[in-house]
């Protein structure tokens, strides 16, 4: 499996984001209404496997921390794409000198417990504000 990490600048809402992010089961993301071509906030990266988009990573900087999300195409879930995204988001956060990566698994997520456990296996810990946090490792450390 050869995955490629591609920064989108500027990031725009498109058909592939609609399929992977917008097509996620109800309750996972709160997206509001988006139209093709709309510029989307934050930093977006797409993950390609053999030229096909298989996932997205997103980051926004909040008070020295990185709020992150990831979305993986259903047909490649459980194949390492999510872990690839988390690792690359951490590298991006480290380059920016950020302290923590934060993720909030919404109470409406249909598999909240499963996703929380998946993130915890990857070093995220529950915090007082109900987000999951993982300290960003510094490159070279």
Q: Which of 103, 64, 100 shows the shortest CA–CA distance to 82?
A: 103
pTM, entire model: 0.91
Report the pLDDT averaged over residues 20-38.
80
**3-135 CATH fold:** Aminopeptidase (3.40.630)
- Residue 140 confidence (pLDDT): 63
Query: According to DSSP H, which parts of the chain are helical?
Result: 15-17, 81-95, 112-121
- Residue 14 confidence (pLDDT): 92
Which are the contacts of 27, defined by CB distance < 8 A and separation ≥ 6? 106, 108, 109, 110
pLDDT of residue 141 exceeding 70, the answer is no
Q: Given pLDDT bands bounded at 50, 70 and 90, which one contains residue 34?
A: confident
d(CA 102, CA 66): 6
- Going from N- to C-terminal start, the domains of the chain cover 3-135
pLDDT in tens, 41-86: 999 999 999 999 999 999 999 899 999 999 999 999 999 999 999 9
pLDDT of residue 26 exceeding 80, the answer is no
Q: Which of 12, 93, 83 shows the shortest CA–CA distance to 60?
A: 93
Q: Which residue has the higher pLDDT, 4 or 25?
A: 4
Q: Given pLDDT bands bounded at 50, 70 and 90, which one contains residue 24?
A: confident
- Residue 138 confidence (pLDDT): 80
């Amino acid at each position: 499996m050869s995955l490629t990490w591609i920064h989108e600048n500027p990031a725009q809402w498109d058909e592939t984001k609609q399929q992977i992010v917008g097509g996620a089961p109800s309750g996972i993301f709160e997206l509001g209404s988006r139209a093709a071509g709309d510029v989307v906030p934050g930093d977006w990266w797409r993950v390609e496997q053999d030229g096909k988009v298989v996932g997205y990573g997103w980051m926004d900087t909040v008070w020295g921390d990185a709020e992150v999300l990831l979305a993986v195409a259903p047909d490649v879930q459980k194949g390492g794409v999510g872990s690839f995204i988390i690792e690359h988001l951490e590298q991006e956060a480290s380059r920016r000198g950020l302290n923590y990566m934060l993720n909030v698994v919404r109470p409406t997520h249909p598999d909240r417990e499963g996703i929380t456990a998946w993130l915890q296996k990857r070093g995220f810990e529950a915090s007082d504000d109900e987000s999951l946090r993982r300290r960003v490792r510094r490159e070279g450390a």
